[in-house]
Amino acid sequence: MNEVSFSFGSRRHLSATLTLPPGERPARMGIVLLNVGIIHRMGPHRFNAKLARALAREGWATLRMDLSGQGDSGTPDEALPYEQQAVTDLQVAMDHFQRLCKVEKFAIAGICSGAYNGLAAALADHRVAALWMLDGYAYPTARTRWNRYIGQLREAPLRALRSWTRKLVRRAARALRNVADQSMTQELWDFGRDPPPREVFALDVQALVDRGVAVCVVYSGSMRWHFNYPAQWRDAFSEFDFVERVRCEYLPQADHTATTLAAQQHLIRSLADWLRGLDAD
């Protein structure tokens, strides 16, 4: 395979690494891999680098990039708000990718913040034909909360009871001070930015699916506080048409940053299989 790092953008402030298949024309769809939080474009435990090289062996050209102000990328002279800047960076990256490889469309793959930014870019740019999100937005159901409480009791019953007692005391004190409780979704969220309301997220996914974008959502065991059983996606969005048209995987054996080699290999195989299925359609 061929691999080259370069700078691009109007101020050449963006950095990326392009991984090309060996000795053959790349597939029509290019793959873009994003930062995970503030981690360099190589990804946690070099996951993005391993993923790009595995996909190259399958015939896919892959661009892993650092967004503005992250990794090796600098900041533009007039930076936009974070999410807008991320979308702009991705669009510039796709422009450059097209010039280099003559690809016709793109798949964006992101973990956590990369999933959020990938979703925003897919909504903004019709060149995005596929979106893979690991540990993106999650919406707990009544069963999610039940599973969580039962799991806490099984693992450490005394600690769980003490924790619940402290929470009840804090909530009672808050009520006495007449401070409004946050919504359940906001209370549960601790993986970065607050999620959009469930209905807003659902309408965004519906818009992508109706446009013909293939969507795959994957949740690791690190998300068990928010997502902890295979049917949760269907239960959370049962009234929406997209629910059976989006691929959803629950991988309790994997963690948020794909720490183990087994988790990395499983995720790489899963993504590669999904992309092959899209290419065959």
Is the same domain home to 114 and 146?
no
Which range of 34-48, 121-135, 178-192 scores highest in mean pLDDT? It is 121-135
Is the same domain home to 77 and 19?
yes
Is the same domain home to 38 and 151?
no
Out of 171, 186, 201, pick the residue that ends a domain.
186
**Residue 159 above 50 pLDDT?**
yes
C-alpha 143/C-alpha 237 separation (Å) is 14
Mean pLDDT value across residues 262-273: 93
Is the same domain home to 155 and 276?
no
Is the same domain home to 61 and 163?
no
pLDDT at res. 188: 37
Is the same domain home to 34 and 123?
yes
The total number of structural domains in the chain stands at: 2
Is the same domain home to 163 and 58?
no
Is the same domain home to 126 and 162?
no
In the chain, % helix, strand, coil (3-state, to 5) comes to 45, 20, 35
Is the same domain home to 9 and 131?
yes
pLDDT tens per residue, range 69-86: 999 999 888 888 999 999
Determine the residue type at 250.
Answer: Y
**pLDDT confidence bin for 263, thresholds 50/70/90:** very high
**Residue 262 above 60 pLDDT?**
yes
Out of 186, 202, 217, pick the residue that ends a domain.
186
Is the same domain home to 154 and 260?
no
SS3 (DSSP) at 33: strand
Find, among 158, 167, 150, 163, the residue nearest to 229 by Cα: 150
pLDDT tens per residue, range 209-257: 999 999 999 999 999 889 999 999 999 999 999 999 999 999 999 999 9
Q: What is the CATH number of the domain that holds 24?
A: 3.40.50.1820
Structure-token pair, residue 233: 């996606």
pTM of the predicted model as reported, rounded to 2 decimal places: 0.84
Is the same domain home to 83 and 6?
yes
Residue span of the structural domain in which 175 resides: 142-186
